[in-house]
Structure 1
Amino acid sequence: MNVEVRISDNIKGKGLYATKKIEKGSIIFEEDPLVSCQFPWNALYGYNACNHCLKPLETAQENARRLTGIQSLELPYPECCTTEKSKIVSCSQCGVNYCSEKCQGLAYNQYHRLLCLQIMDRSGIHPLEMLEETWKNVHYPPESNTVMLIVRLLARILQSPNPDEAIQQTLQFCHRTVNEDSELAHKLLGPKFEGMLSHLHHSFVNAIPNHECIRQFLTMDGFQSLLALIGTNGQGVGTSPISQWFNKATNMGLPDAEQELLDKFIDKMYEDIDKHTGNFLNNEGVALYMLQSTANHCCIPNAEPTFLHNNHRLSLIALKDIEPNEEICISYLDECTLERSRHSRRKELMENYIFACNCQKCESQANDPDVTSEEEEDEKSSSSSFIEDMSN
């Protein structure tokens, strides 16, 4: 391994450190998650992915036609599509699809045996379906998480040959106070739906077997702790058949004339996608990773999670050269937020992760005004208007 987990030099708690020199652009490590799950709205809108690993089940051409709305669209170089439809299998009981028999077997052995929707209640709606509908009613796109990840996490414990070990792996992610868990749980739902937490908890308890070994997680405090867990540790996963086709097609080494035609085709295709679909291009979901979750945040990260295999297997890539014993940090914020003011970044990190960032970038901007980027823009706009009024 290129890394080890130890007490962090920069914050109270653990961090991820390099054990030897890691060169920029190299893979630091790869890791499969404890559990992963596609977002409910993403699946509902036709983003067809493996129910276990999120690998696309559409061909690149099917994907392009759906996203552009152009059913006659023909992708050149179809051999660059990586989707293997001949390997797709379905659960014989509930019909969910997997990219391969291997994924189907992994899902069944880890959590699906308990979660298969073959048993219906008197109303004809499975409690798990009721829970997912409740979640969808309080968590609209753009999605950032799903309560169904918690369901799979607990089913994993119940199906584990060593439940105590599986519980300890789960508790590794829980390290806040009850009040902090409550704050994060409400933040995940948003202020508009604070009153829905009790209803969501009720649906959750009805959908999960009330087994002694997971009873600590079924109380309201336990449920809030699990919501806080996925809110602070859930890593977004994105897969796409078009992106894989794009990467292979643009790296074929075509003659200049052919490459120019391909580039024009791709530009037009993405214009059509933008008009028809907007920014929602990928199969999207969330996952929990044991090793990646130990990486702390930095506003100048030296590593970045990516998904090179077009499924939920995470690859951590070095963004710069990393020296032995240097801490490996990722960004908990998106690229746009990273470019905002220090106050904006720290405000979002405090609201979503309950910590104040003291990285090198934040320390260098310590004397900047304590205003958000929006407030800064408002001030600039007001100043411009004032100057314009004065000049008139």
Structure 2
Amino acid sequence: MSLSTALRRQTPWKPLLRRYRPFSTSPEDGPRPPRPPPPPPPPPIRVGFTESAGRGVFATRPIRAGDPIHTAKPLVTHPSPSLLHQVCYFCLKKLGREKSAVSLPIQDGGSVLYESASASTIRETICFCTEKCSEYSKGFYEIERRADWSAFDEHCREQEVKYPLLVKRFACMVLSGASRADALDILQPARLFPQNILEMEEEFRLLKDAFLTARIAYDQMSFLTKDWYVGTLARIRINAFRVEFAGGSYEDLLSMASASVIANAAVGNAVYMLPSFYNHDCDPNAHIIWIDSADAKLKALRDIEEGEELCICYIDASMDHDARKTLLLEGFGFQCCCPRCMADD
């Protein structure tokens, strides 16, 4: 008998030892923390190019009617002038009477006060729904409240324009470092006419004068040129959404093919990145809604096949053909060729 065979026979407990791991008091052998949940899957969409409408949004898999597609946070927002004291100055959430709003302090220890949109002598408080919104706004609002906006705001009221207010806020965001001056350059600009340029030049002058009066440093305002203002406003004019809070349940909204409701229901306007890539259709397969803030939610109105383009309706889809045609051409600069319009429906 060989020596190795003898040794194996003298250790009958060796197979038992193989069944057990050595005991250790190392903390590494203690209970392991639970694994973090996997990240949510990406939205079932991609941005591509269409045959006739430039960029568009396409489904990467089948989407069922009623399914959420994705959510989107705004790049810039501004409340309706008539609702400055009724909605959050940042996220546009309505301020309920039972909720305690947060207002930013000013240097003299008072509240942040603004002239109401009615131009009356009553001054209203600019409020935020939470400390979080107040903190997010601190950068651009520190810039905004240093300037006298009476001439600029009066011009917007007299001309009944709202998009320059979004440019004003975006400029304050750039000055505060909260955004880049070219953050909106990826968006498609509106087609402008000579009369549009003349109006924009006056608005640009009022905007820059307000910053100069507030003693904003010239090097900070190097981006603020007439070309920048015109280009930014041209992009905002065609890409801004009117934020209107939905009433009822999601199920109720599935029967709504209209992208807009009553104009007075708007709490403000907002510009988004991905939602701006959705093209228009008078019989859309997707719908953008807002529940209680400027965070947009897109849902499928009907079953959508993989590879199909997702479209929303830019206007009230219940209007007749001639009204839709005029509004789309004058407001958005294109003539709709969707099946409904081609059939004069």
1:320 maps to 2:327: no
Find the counterpart in structure 2 of residue 69 from structure 1: none
Identify which of 262, 265, 269 aligns with 1:286: 269
CA distance in 2, matches of 1:172, 1:207: 28
Find the counterpart in structure 1 of residue 210 from structure 2: 207
For structure 1, the residue ranges without an aligned partner over 5 or more in a row are: 60-83, 120-125, 187-194, 248-278, 369-392
1:297 maps to 2:280: yes
Find the counterpart in structure 2 of residue 362 from structure 1: 341
Find the counterpart in structure 1 of residue 130 from structure 2: 100
CA distance in 2, matches of 1:364, 1:335: 15
CA contact (8 A) 1:234 1:287 kept: yes
Indicate the percent of aligned positions where both proteins have the same amino acid: 26
Query: Moved runs in structure 1, 4+ residues, more than 6 A?
Result: none
SS of 1:171's equivalent? Answer: coil
Alignment deviations for residues 255-276 of structure 1 (CA, whole Å, 9 cap, x no partner): xxxxxxxxxxxxxxxxxxxxxx
Identify which of 153, 157, 161 aligns with 1:132: 153
Cα separation, partners in 2 of 1:315 and 1:211, compared to 1, 3 Å: farther
CA distance in 2, matches of 1:280, 1:325: 34
CA distance in 2, matches of 1:184, 1:233: 20
CA contact (8 A) 1:239 1:282 kept: yes
Find the counterpart in structure 1 of residue 96 from structure 2: 58
> What pairs up with 1:82-161 in 2 under 5 angstroms?
85-86=99-100, 88-93=101-106, 94-95=112-113, 96-109=126-139, 111-115=140-144, 117=145, 119=146, 126-139=147-160, 145-160=162-177
CA distance in 2, matches of 1:299, 1:328: 12
CA contact (8 A) 1:302 1:318 kept: yes
For structure 2, the residue ranges without an aligned partner over 5 or more in a row are: 1-42, 107-111, 114-125, 250-261
CA contact (8 A) 1:217 1:226 kept: no
Identify which of 181, 205, 216 aligns with 2:192: 181
SS of 1:168's equivalent? Answer: coil
Find the counterpart in structure 1 of residue 256 from structure 2: none
Larger Rg: 2
Q: So what's the TM-score if we normalise by structure 1?
A: 0.62
| 1:92, distance to aligned residue in structure 2 (A) | 0.5
SS of 1:135's equivalent? Answer: helix
CA contact (8 A) 2:278 2:312 kept: yes
| 1:282, distance to aligned residue in structure 2 (A) | 3.8
Find the counterpart in structure 2 of residue 234 from structure 1: 240
SS of 1:103's equivalent? Answer: helix
CA contact (8 A) 2:163 2:233 kept: no
> Which structure's residues are more often helix, by fraction?
1
Q: So what's the TM-score if we normalise by structure 2?
A: 0.70
CA distance in 2, matches of 1:223, 1:358: 32
| 1:283, distance to aligned residue in structure 2 (A) | 5.6
Alignment deviations for residues 334-382 of structure 1 (CA, whole Å, 9 cap, x no partner): 234xx312x43233212111122222222233xx9xxxxxxxxxxxxxx
Work out which structure has the larger RCO, using CA pairs closer than 8 Å and 6 or more positions apart in sequence: 1
Work out the number of aligned pairs and report it. Answer: 272
| 1:130, distance to aligned residue in structure 2 (A) | 2.4
CA distance in 2, matches of 1:108, 1:352: 34
